[in-house]
Amino acid sequence: MCFLQKIDDILVTIFIASIISLIPSTTRYRLMFGIKLKYNVIQEYITPILQFIGIYLMWIIAHYFAPKLYIYFCVPSTIVGFILSPFASSMPHCIALRWIINVSAESIKSMWVVFGNWLIATVMTPSKN
């Protein structure tokens, strides 16, 4: 194969690549990699579900640890802790922990409502039989 033939093959490859880059990505995957299209469709549906589960788990973990940290840092179970608790309750870290407790409880409650609505919508959808 001569040098000019190699350059010609490279130019043809570049031309084909530039044409392919103009095709929308889903069509391109369908033309070039049929398996990748299925993977992208699956990924398109799985990613939001995993993000939702991740956010839900984050709120559960925050709701679990925030009260324990609040008790440890803001209201220790000693006489000195009892005396200092009115002062500690206005400290920034105690305010932040109380905020986490309240917001995480509301978020978990809201997520249960969303899950319940989705479940009812799924169950109440008529079948196509």
Contact 25, 39 (CB under 8 A): no
DSSP conformational letter for 129 = -
99 occurs within a structural domain: yes
Where is pLDDT greater, at 129 or 61?
61
Query: What does the alpha-carbon distance between residue 109 and residue 117 come to, in Å, rounded to a whole number?
Result: 13
Total of domains in the chain: 1
Query: What does the alpha-carbon distance between residue 78 and residue 90 come to, in Å, rounded to a whole number?
Result: 19
Q: Which residue has the tokens 């802790």?
A: 81
76 occurs within a structural domain: yes
1 occurs within a structural domain: no
Q: What is the pLDDT of residue 45?
A: 65
Question: Which residue range is the domain that position 87 belongs to?
Answer: 7-124
2 occurs within a structural domain: no
Which amino acid would we find at residue 83?
A: I
15 occurs within a structural domain: yes
Where is pLDDT greater, at 105 or 24?
105
Q: What is the pLDDT of residue 76?
A: 84
Provide the 10 A C-beta neighbour count for residue 51: 10
129 occurs within a structural domain: no
**Structure tokens that stand for 6 in this block:** 């190699």
- Whole-model pTM: value is 0.58
Closest CA to 93 of 71, 77, 73, 114: 73
Where is pLDDT greater, at 18 or 76?
76
Mean of pLDDT over the chain: 75
Query: What does the alpha-carbon distance between residue 64 and residue 58 come to, in Å, rounded to a whole number?
Result: 10
27 occurs within a structural domain: yes
Contact 61, 27 (CB under 8 A): no
pLDDT in tens, 41-94: 566 667 767 777 888 888 899 999 999 999 999 988 889 888 888 888 899 999
105 occurs within a structural domain: yes
